[in-house]
Structure 1
Amino acid sequence: MSENPNGLAGAAETALRVRAHYEQLEQRLLGRTWTLPELAVGFTNDAAYVGRLVLAAEHTWDIDGDVGAELRHKLAECLWWAFVLADKLGVDLPEAYEATMDRIDTGLRTTLHDAPGDGQ
C-alpha cells in the first residue's frame, strides 16, 4: 500500500475534488446538485452494501463478481462519503478522527490498566 504523505488531510482534498466533478455532472443532468439528505442516503446505501459484501466474504451471501475487489471499492467509497458529508456539515474530519482516536485510545488503555488481569 502506498502511503499518502498528507494522510487524511490529503485524502479529504482528493475526496472533495472528486465530489466537485460529481457536482458538475449533477448540475448538467439534474439542473442542481445533490442535497445533504441525498448525500446521506448515498452514504448509507454504500455502507449497507458493505454489510452484504462482508456476508459474501464469509460465504453466506452470493454476489456476482470479485468480493475482495468490491469490498475495497465500497469501503473506499464509504470513506469518500464521510469526507464529503463532513465538508458539507463543517466538520474537520482529519482533526475529528485524530481527537476521537486519541480519546478512545486513552480511555481503553486506562480501562485495560485498571482492569483485573488474567489471574495476575
Structure 2
Amino acid sequence: MTHSPTHSPTNTPDTGLSAASTEALSVRALYEILEQRFNGKTWSLNEMAIGYTNDVGYIGRLLLAHDGTWPIDGEATAELTHKLAESLWWTFVPASKLDIDIDQAFSETMSTIRTNLEATIERTAL
C-alpha cells in the first residue's frame, strides 16, 4: 500500500473551501452590523464559541430525531441540512478572526490523518 505524502503549503490541493469561507465571512459581516446596532459591539470569540457549541449540541439531538429516538417539531433532515451548513459557517468565522488559513489547515490535517490511517491499516493487515 502506498502512502499519500504530507502536503506542504505549496502543493496543498484545493478543497473548495475558499468560496464557502468568503460567503461565510460576508454573512458574518451582516451579523456584525446588527450586533453593533443592538448590542453596541460585535460578538467576541467566546460568544461565538458558545453559539457554535449550542448548535453542535442541537445537531446531536437532530441525529437522534433522524433515527426516530428524539421527537422534534419539524423535519429532521431539513433541520440537519441547515445546522450542518451553519456549523461550517461557525468554523470559517473564528478561523478568519484568528488568521488561520482553514483551506490549508483542512488539507494538511486530512493528509496527516489519511497517512496515519493508511499506516495503521497496513500495520494491522492480517
TM-score, shorter chain, exceeding 0.5: yes
1:28 is matched with which residue?
A: 37
1:39 to 48, 53, 58: 48
Q: Which of the numbers 22, 26, 34 marks the counterpart of 1:17?
A: 26
Partner of 1:114 in structure 2? 123
For 2:108, the equivalent position in structure 1 comes to 99
User: In the comparison of the two structures, how many residue pairs are matched?
Assistant: 113
Equivalent residue number for residue 5 of structure 2: none
The 8 Å contact of residues 18 and 103 in structure 2, kept in 1 or not, is answered as yes
1:61 Cα offset (Å)? 0.4
Q: Deviations over 1:43-76 (max 9, x none)?
A: 0000110000001011110000011000000000
- The CA distance in 2 between the partners of 1:73 and 1:116, in whole Å, is 40
In the alignment, structure 2 segments of 5+ residues that lack a partner are 1-13
Larger relative contact order (C-alpha < 8 A, sep ≥ 6)? 2
Match of 2:98 among 89, 92, 95: 89
Q: Which runs of 5+ in 1 are unaligned?
A: none
More helix by share: 1
Once the two structures are TM-superposed, the CA of residue 18 in structure 1 deviates from its matched residue by 0.4
Q: Is the 8 A contact 2:15 2:107 kept in 1?
A: no
Determine the C-alpha separation between the residues in 2 that align with 1:79 and 1:23: 18
Moved over 6 A (4+): none
2:24–2:89 contact (8 Å) kept in structure 1:
yes
Percent identical = 52
Per-residue deviation at 1:116? 2.8
Deviation at 1:42, TM superposition (A): 0.6
d(CA) in 2 for partners of 1:82, 1:101: 16
Which residue pairs with 1:65 in the alignment?
74
Q: Match for 1:84: what amino acid?
A: V
Looking at structure 1, the residues matched to 76 and 104 of structure 2 have their Cα atoms a distance apart, in angstroms, of 32
Please report the TM-score for the alignment, with normalisation by the length of structure 2.
0.86
- Matched-pair contact (CA < 8 Å) for 2:15–2:103: no
